[in-house]
């Protein structure tokens, strides 16, 4: 089976042609110039036509941030590209090929489950750590979407009901503590308190570079990050009892910097931690998880 899989972000549209689990071609295009649904669909069709040529394709798949009706193919809410709200891509592309769509974290999880760190496991949670915090959940060998397609909104698990304000409007969401737009704010504040050191341009990448270079403040900040992450994971582990938790997304590249503090906190808080056969690890597929997951989405019609 040959699939062209799209991973749609707020800045770029990445895609890959994958046949029988082997990636044949990859590419990306900017999403910045897209202003309406018509131009978005036109770009997708152009990419498909250029990618497949005369050889044909069996299906098109897509992962996109937000709320998606995977049954009808409709984008219900897109935080990055709000003009796509209400667009039914299954109808728009029905003359091109069969079309499958889901939330990007779900698609990412399908990739890690079938081709990455979660292989041969039936109960897998894939947590994506980036600008926001998302999750894809495999429960008893099936992707969990929920009654209203909202399952997996791990970033909005509340860890402090009087905590800081999250972009969703709630207070104390885990995303507002460890999200890539939030944690650097805390880091800059912390550095300002350390009179001898500043990091006004701090990003998660900059913090990682500093910590790997032996910067004491940055190393401490990743310890804090691991503790916050652990508190969110405690809720997920107690609720779902997974065999494995896979950490993906850009911040997971710094896994070794927060692994120890995260694990120590989990040992204190998770009921029966030592008796559980639980593994917490980095994902194996990186950005290609969305391409592999798109193949699984189309092939298995999950």
What are 10-66's pLDDT values in tens digits? Answer: 889 999 999 999 999 999 999 888 889 999 999 999 999 888 776 789 999 999 999
Q: What is the mean pLDDT of the chain?
A: 94
Query: Contact 10/81 with Cβ under 8 angstroms?
Result: yes
With bands split at pLDDT 50, 70 and 90, how would you rate the model's confidence at 179?
A: very high
Give the model's pLDDT for residue 200: 83
With bands split at pLDDT 50, 70 and 90, how would you rate the model's confidence at 174?
A: very high
With bands split at pLDDT 50, 70 and 90, how would you rate the model's confidence at 201?
A: confident
217 or 54, which is more confident? 217
Q: Walk across the sheet containing 124-129 and list its strands.
A: 142-143, 133-139, 124-129, 244-248, 279-282
Give the model's pLDDT for residue 220: 97
140 has a pLDDT exceeding 70: yes
Is 173 in a helix, a strand, or coil? strand
Per-residue CA distances from 202 to 79, 102, 176, 217 (Å): 25, 33, 17, 12
93 has a pLDDT exceeding 80: yes
Percent of the chain scored above 70 by pLDDT?
Answer: 99
Nearest to 174 by CA among 132, 232, 222, 129: 232
Q: What is the mean pLDDT of residues 158-174?
A: 94
DSSP 52-111: HTTS--SEEEEEESSEEETTTTEEEE-SS-GGGTT-BHHHHTTTTSEEEEEEHHHHHHHH
Task: Determine which helix (DSSP H) or strand (DSSP E) holds 287, and give its type and residue range.
Answer: none
With bands split at pLDDT 50, 70 and 90, how would you rate the model's confidence at 194?
A: confident
- The region that residue 295 occupies, defined by phi over 0 for left and psi between -120 and 50 for alpha, beta otherwise, is alpha
Between vectors from CA 260 to CA 258 and to CA 264, what angle results, nearest 5°? 120
* Paired tokens of 230: 């652990």
Give the model's pLDDT for residue 198: 83
If you count DSSP H runs as helices and E runs as strands, how many of each does the chain have, helices first? 9, 12
**Domains, the chain:** 2-109+288-300 (3.30.420.40), 120-283 (3.30.420.40)
Give the model's pLDDT for residue 197: 75
Residue 23, beta-bridge partner list? 18
Q: What is the mean pLDDT of residues 150-170?
A: 94
Q: What is the mean pLDDT of residues 104-129?
A: 97
Give the model's pLDDT for residue 54: 62
Per-residue CA distances from 86 to 41, 82, 83, 91, 258 (Å): 13, 9, 8, 12, 40
Q: What is the mean pLDDT of residues 132-159?
A: 95
What are 243-278's pLDDT values in tens digits? Answer: 999 999 999 999 999 999 999 999 999 999 999 999
Give the model's pLDDT for residue 276: 95
Nearest to 127 by CA among 235, 9, 13: 235
Q: What is the mean pLDDT of residues 128-140?
A: 95
């Amino acid at each position: 089976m040959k699939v062209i899989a799209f991973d749609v972000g707020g800045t770029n549209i990445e895609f890959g042609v994958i046949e029988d689990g082997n990636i044949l071609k990859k590419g990306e295009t900017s999403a910045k110039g897209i202003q309406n649904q018509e131009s978005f669909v036109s770009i997708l069709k152009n990419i498909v036509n250029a990618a497949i040529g005369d050889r044909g394709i069996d299906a098109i798949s897509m992962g996109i941030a937000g709320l998606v009706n995977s049954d009808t193919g409709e984008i219900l809410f897109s935080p990055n590209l709000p003009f796509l709200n209400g667009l039914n891509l299954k109808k728009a592309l029905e003359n091109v090929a069969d079309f499958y769509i889901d939330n990007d974290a779900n698609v990412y999880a399908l990739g890690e489950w079938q081709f990455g760190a979660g292989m041969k496991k039936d109960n897998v949670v894939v947590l994506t750590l980036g600008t926001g915090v998302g999750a894809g959940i495999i429960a008893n060998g099936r992707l969990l979407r929920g009654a209203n397609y909202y399952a997996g909104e791990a970033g909005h698990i509340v860890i402090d009901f009087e905590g800081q304000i999250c972009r969703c409007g709630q207070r104390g969401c885990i995303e507002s503590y460890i999200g890539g737009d939030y944690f650097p704010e805390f880091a800059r504040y912390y550095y300002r308190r350390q009179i001898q050191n500043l990091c006004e341009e701090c990003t998660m990448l900059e913090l990682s570079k500093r910590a790997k270079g032996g910067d004491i403040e940055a190393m401490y900040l990743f310890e804090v990050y691991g503790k916050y992450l652990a508190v969110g994971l405690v809720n997920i582990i107690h609720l779902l009892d997974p065999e494995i938790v896979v950490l993906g997304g850009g911040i997971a590249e710094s896994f070794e910097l927060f692994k120890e503090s995260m694990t120590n906190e989990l040992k204190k808080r998770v009921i029966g931690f030592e008796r559980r056969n639980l593994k917490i690890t980095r994902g194996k597929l990186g950005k290609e998880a969305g391409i592999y997951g798109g193949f699984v989405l189309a092939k298995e019609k999950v």
